[in-house]
Amino acid sequence: MVLLKKYIHILLLLCILIFSFKIRYISPTSLADLTPPDSSEYSLSAYNLYHHHIIGIKFYGQYYPLKYPYGYPLLIIPFYFIFGSHPYNAVYCSLFFAMLSIVFAYLIGKELGNRFTGLIAALFISLCPTHIIFSKFVMTETSSTFLAIFICWLLLKVAHLKLSKQNFLLLLFLGLITGFSVSVHLTNFLFILPVLISLLLGGKSNPWSIFTKETIVLVGIILALAPLLLYQFHTFGFPLKTGYEVREPDNYEEKSKCFSFKFFAYPHHRFKMGNFIVFLLVFLGMTKTFYPATMVPLLLGGILFILYQRRKLNKRMIFLIFSSLLVSSLFVFFSFYAGQSGRHLLQGIPLLMILAAYGVTLSIDKGIFKSLTKGSIFSLIMISLFMITIIQMTLWYHSMPKSSGWIVNRQYKMMEDINRHIPNNSIIISQLNPIIADHYFTEHTAGKIVYVSLSITPHWAAIEKGQIKPIRYDRAKKYSFLFRPGRALNPRTYNFIKRSLIRGVPVYLVHLPDNPSSKNLFPLIERYFSLIRQEGDNRLFRLYLKNW
């Protein structure tokens, strides 16, 4: 019995982690289509880095610069090593950091209050709807959230330490992690200022000691940012120029298209309200994004309890400074941003949930009020709000769709089926997702060649015209487009098919009846070639020259 009492908190944490894993786990093959587009960029660039030692994404055999920084692909690589390098296995990275966020939320809650505080914080995060959703996608949200929590935990560890060799390394590590977080997602630069200000305002040390700590952390940040800046200088010609500007020049050449006061205050695009009002409603719990409105009093209680003890300049005050600065920075920054999504704020939400957990546990402390009656009433109110919050978040989870438009593998399954009927050293012309199809047929089917083509769009036209320069060029494999502007068949495509057929190379056309472009393509191809239905799959046609 004594042993159970001693380790009951560990058992409860394990139960929360098992529950969290169960509601977050998704079969990796469900994500084989690598949607949304961010997923294909991250997972395939990690694949290219792991196998080909190239920081780039491949289009039609050529490697082009990443739209995103390289940090997240680096985090994915260990999971390829463990689970295999199929791109969809990158989802294990999201799941791992989601689970780790819950563990470190428990540790921070324990630092601020007690083990019960940590358990409530872990439970809150385990039920957070947006956190659950992005644990199932190959995107940076859960890893960035973990980095915010981990940086906060490190900050609590180093703030009151006296300088020594061991503490020097810990401070340097805090700086390195803070700087590295920017290479995972560029908006994580918002972590830097809260870290430096928290060290400045939250320590009891003398000014010289504070200055030394700040310097060490800043050196770590610079050391971690230096490779990113050098990479951007080498790849894009300027340290502060990013892949966003290269791949989406129309948006980022004019900053007003991405950041503007009109997004802050006024309805824009398809949104009915300005970002400020929308995000304010999110923080007030008026949406189903993070937590219900009943958590707000718990959160305010945690803030007030810490402010009441502010003269002690303890870890709680440092936590409050860091979390409030980070959440405010996210709120202000993304209020001016063209997009309007609660996921942009996710990095700061677990910190608010930890504050709410602290508010719950401290409200039970009978020593707050001199009157036992007042203390009991207050504790009863806070516990009731806590129970309502947990019930509401549980109901939200059960009402969430069990699947998503992003969780499909139609094209991947189609490629697997088609591949069974195609001999080696053949060529495939299709309008499948070009990045995924090129990767699948090139990397996972020995001896098969794929030429994936699609209609001209501004993005692909920019590649064809050479506006987006390749970082490595494979002369044996040239990209091609089926259509030219005006819906005419690209002569290069026709000549390529004709030369291949004359040499005796089998050429197959993948016909997708539900794809409008594929439907338009079929009669154009039929004018120049005779089509024989390939036995085994009714979407596959082998091409023959009419005069051959």
**pLDDT tens track for 52-75:** 888 888 776 678 888 899 999 999
Same domain, 429 and 373: no
Q: Is the residue at 36 inside a domain?
A: no
Q: How many residues does the chain have?
A: 548
Same domain, 124 and 254: yes
DSSP 8-state assignment for residue 175: H
pLDDT at res. 174: 95
Residues 6 or more apart whose CB falls under 8 angstroms from that of 328 comprise none
Could you give the percent of the chain with pLDDT greater than 70?
Answer: 81
Q: Alpha-carbon distance 65 to 246, whole Å?
A: 8
Q: Alpha-carbon distance 50 to 113, whole Å?
A: 43
Residues 6 or more apart whose CB falls under 8 angstroms from that of 112 comprise 315, 316, 319, 354, 358
Same domain, 483 and 435: yes
Pseudo-torsion of CA 255, 258, 264, 266, nearest 10°?
110
Same domain, 374 and 449: no
Q: Alpha-carbon distance 178 to 174, whole Å?
A: 6
167, pLDDT greater than 90: no
pTM over 0.85: yes
* Domain boundary residue, one of 349, 377, 399: 399
pLDDT at res. 528: 74
Same domain, 364 and 316: yes
Same domain, 237 and 370: yes
Total domain count, the chain = 2
Residues 6 or more apart whose CB falls under 8 angstroms from that of 527 comprise none
- Residue-range definition of the domain harbouring residue 220: 2-31+65-399
Q: Is the residue at 54 inside a domain?
A: no
Q: Is the residue at 100 inside a domain?
A: yes
Say which range, 75-84, 151-160, 217-226, 345-354, has the weakest mean pLDDT: 151-160
Q: Is the residue at 38 inside a domain?
A: no
Q: Is the residue at 40 inside a domain?
A: no
Helical residues (DSSP H) of 84-206, grouped into ranges = 91-112, 115-126, 129-134, 141-158, 165-184, 192-202
Same domain, 309 and 339: yes
Mean pLDDT of 264-272: 81
Neighbours of 413 (CB within 10 A): 13
Q: Is the residue at 56 inside a domain?
A: no
545, pLDDT greater than 60: yes
Q: Alpha-carbon distance 195 to 213, whole Å?
A: 11
- Of 124, 95, 125, 106, nearest to 14 (Cα)? 106
Q: Alpha-carbon distance 518 to 483, whole Å?
A: 11
Q: Is the residue at 41 inside a domain?
A: no
Q: Which amino acid is residue 61, in one-letter code?
A: G
Same domain, 125 and 203: yes
474, pLDDT greater than 60: no
* Domain boundary residue, one of 399, 433, 466: 399
Q: Locate tokens 């971690």: which residue?
A: 224
Q: Is the residue at 48 inside a domain?
A: no
Same domain, 389 and 466: no
Mean pLDDT of 167-173: 90
Q: Alpha-carbon distance 307 to 323, whole Å?
A: 13
- The packing angle between helices 372-399 and 349-363, to 10°, is 140
- Of 245, 240, 237, nearest to 228 (Cα)? 240
pLDDT at res. 4: 63
DSSP 8-state assignment for residue 433: -
Terminal Cα distance for the chain, rounded: 87
From the number of C-beta atoms within 10 Å of its C-beta (0-12, 13-18, 19+), residue 322 rates as buried
Mean pLDDT of 90-108: 96
Same domain, 389 and 446: no
Q: Alpha-carbon distance 173 to 254, whole Å?
A: 37
Q: Give the pair of three-digit tokens for residue 449.
A: 């060649």
- Of 179, 267, 171, 157, nearest to 211 (Cα)? 171
Q: Alpha-carbon distance 182 to 268, whole Å?
A: 28
Same domain, 230 and 209: yes
Cα 104 to chain center, whole Å?
A: 19
Same domain, 294 and 390: yes
Confidence of residue 455 (pLDDT cuts 50, 70, 90): very low
507-510 and 427-430 beta bridge pairing: parallel
Task: Give whole-number Cα distances, 388 to 283, 381, 394, in Å.
Answer: 18, 11, 10
* Domain boundary residue, one of 369, 399, 429: 399
